[in-house]
Chain A
């Protein structure tokens, strides 16, 4: 069985007065509701043109099944170095946050319905992001008949 682990450490000596912040967490990523490890991964590096909405992962129409309501984990890092650059991260047509230059994110992602597609849009300049998506049920585009 494959093993995928994720850990995070968050620290600050001066964010909370009189209290050094030190958060450490870790998890072995499992299939939904099980203690069986994930079996599939998709990873890559993508160049995003400025101001152009891009999709990451499957099309919304390919996710219209509860069969895809699974444990799924997504890592994205914005490799830009200009602090004014950011990539908007959203699901379907809803922007959830801005991934600024040098920032990373790690989230669970449910491909649970046909409006759960992931969308990215670089702002203030073209940007390169790297990503890795771990799960056990990739959705591939059906071949044309």
Chain B
């Protein structure tokens, strides 16, 4: 059994009288048990130069309704550019069902993922941007020969 941990730290002085300090450790486990996740898509890096939407995670490669975790990071440094991140078969835009959010330069996300629908992304413009992403999987469906 593999052991994979993720630690999140958030600090903020937005509320000056009660500064926020969040620190959470998560051990990634399979659905409903204490067994660690054992599979991954591996870490991928992709260069984008257009606004054309692209599928970065194909749901049919993962077992449905499991405890997958999805990590995505906008590796670019420009805070004026972003990627739309959507839980959608083929589209990602401001009003796409369901666009999760905008990932600006240097921003990251880590979330639970059912594996039932593709993850689709789109760059906001033609400036070169890089996206890093990885699925920590609770079941990968092997490609058919």
A-to-B contact residues, CB < 8 Å: 2-16, 21, 23, 25-30, 32-35, 37-41, 43, 66, 69, 71-73, 75, 77, 83-84, 86, 89-92, 94-100, 102-110, 112-113, 115-116, 132, 134
Cα distance A71–B136 in the bound complex, in angstroms: 26
**Chain B residues with a Cβ under 8 A of chain A:** 2-16, 20, 22, 24, 26-29, 31-34, 37-38, 40, 42-43, 65-71, 73, 79-80, 82, 85, 87, 94-95, 97-104, 106-114, 116-117, 134, 136
Q: Check B37–A15 contact: CB distance below 8 A.
A: yes
| B101 and A4 within 8 A (CB) | no
The B interface, classified by DSSP as helix, strand, loop or mixed, is strand
Tell me the bound Cα distance from A84 to B106 in angstroms. 34
Beyond A10-B6, A99-B112, A108-B109, whether A71 also contacts B13 by CB under 8 A is no
Task: Evaluate contact between B108 and A100: CB separation under 8 angstroms.
Answer: no
Report yes or no: B24 in contact with A104, Cβ–Cβ below 8 A.
Answer: yes
Evaluate contact between A75 and B37: CB separation under 8 angstroms: no
Residue of B nearest to A31 (CB): B79
CB of B98 within 8 A of CB of A96, answer yes
Q: How far is the CA of A99 from the CA of B11 in the complex (A)?
A: 22
Could you tell me the distance in whole angstroms from the C-beta of A123 to the nearest C-beta in chain B?
Answer: 10
A121, B28: Cα distance in complex, Å: 20
